[in-house]
């Protein structure tokens, strides 16, 4: 499928997650002071569970669950990649950075020429949410946060467009952090996502996911 012209793509190319101000705040506040970034063993990664999705009851997870999801990148910033090496890391708060290449996946829908951008990092594919940024093609360094977007679920329009990004994971652990100016503190382990009426914007919620598909190359 031919890509739309650049003037149209700036409006049409989004990850299934549309821009939300509270998502932007999560990324900005979480990245206030960096934790040490370490690559997780055994295909493990950490994703943020955004409060507005939890409050709407759109995310239902419990420790030990197996789930098929496509963790998405909320791009807080990007620059041209100066190195040919492709690599990515994610910390215990779901903060992501990586060097890879942006590719596009068409959304199959009537009267729609939309595309979903995907970040290819050494064979791992992550849908991209550009937030307020202008979409960019080619090799990039991207920094932001990994999160779970309900609009990318199996059977949804955008979810089917990024089917190759989905993998099966086991929920190894979930935590709630108290948000502070610099970095989240006071982790509390959770056995399941909080009830909608217990969700607060003053907390950051994350889940550690362990990859079950061992055939996918690791960073």
**pLDDT tens digits, 9-49:** 444 444 443 344 444 444 444 444 344 444 444 578 999 99
The Cα–Cα gap between 18 and 16 comes to 6
Spatial distance between the Cα atoms of 164 and 37, rounded to a whole number of angstroms: 26
pLDDT: which is higher, 160 or 70: 70
Give the highest mean pLDDT range of 77-91, 121-135, 166-180.
166-180
Identify whether the C-beta of residue 127 lies closer than 8 Å to the C-beta of residue 149. Answer: yes
Pick 200 or 134 by higher pLDDT: 200
pLDDT at 215: 53
Q: Please check whether residue 164 is in contact with residue 103, taking contact to mean a CB–CB distance below 8 angstroms.
A: no
In angstroms, the Cα distances linking 156 to 133, 147, 163 are 24, 17, 10
């Amino acid at each position: 499928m031919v890509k739309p012209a650049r003037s149209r793509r700036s409006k049409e190319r989004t990850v299934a997650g549309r821009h939300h101000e509270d998502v932007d705040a999560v990324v900005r506040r979480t990245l206030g002071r960096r934790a040490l970034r370490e690559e997780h063993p055994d295909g493990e990664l950490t994703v943020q569970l955004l409060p507005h999705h939890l409050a709407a009851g759109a995310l239902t997870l419990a420790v030990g669950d197996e789930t098929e999801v496509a963790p998405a990148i909320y791009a807080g910033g990007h620059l041209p990649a100066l190195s040919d090496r492709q690599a990515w890391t994610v910390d215990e708060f779901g903060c992501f950075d990586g060097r890879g290449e942006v590719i596009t996946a068409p959304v199959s829908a009537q009267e729609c020429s939309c595309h979903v951008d995907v970040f290819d990092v050494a064979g791992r594919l992550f849908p991209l949410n550009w937030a307020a940024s202008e979409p960019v093609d080619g090799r990039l360094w991207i920094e932001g946060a990994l999160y779970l977007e309900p609009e990318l679920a199996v059977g949804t329009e955008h979810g089917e467009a990024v089917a190759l990004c989905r993998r099966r994971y086991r929920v190894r652990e979930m935590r709630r952090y108290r948000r502070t100016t610099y970095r989240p503190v006071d982790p509390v382990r959770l056995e399941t996502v909080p009830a909608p009426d217990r969700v607060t914007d003053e907390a950051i919620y994350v889940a550690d996911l362990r990859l079950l598909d061992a055939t996918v190359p690791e960073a």
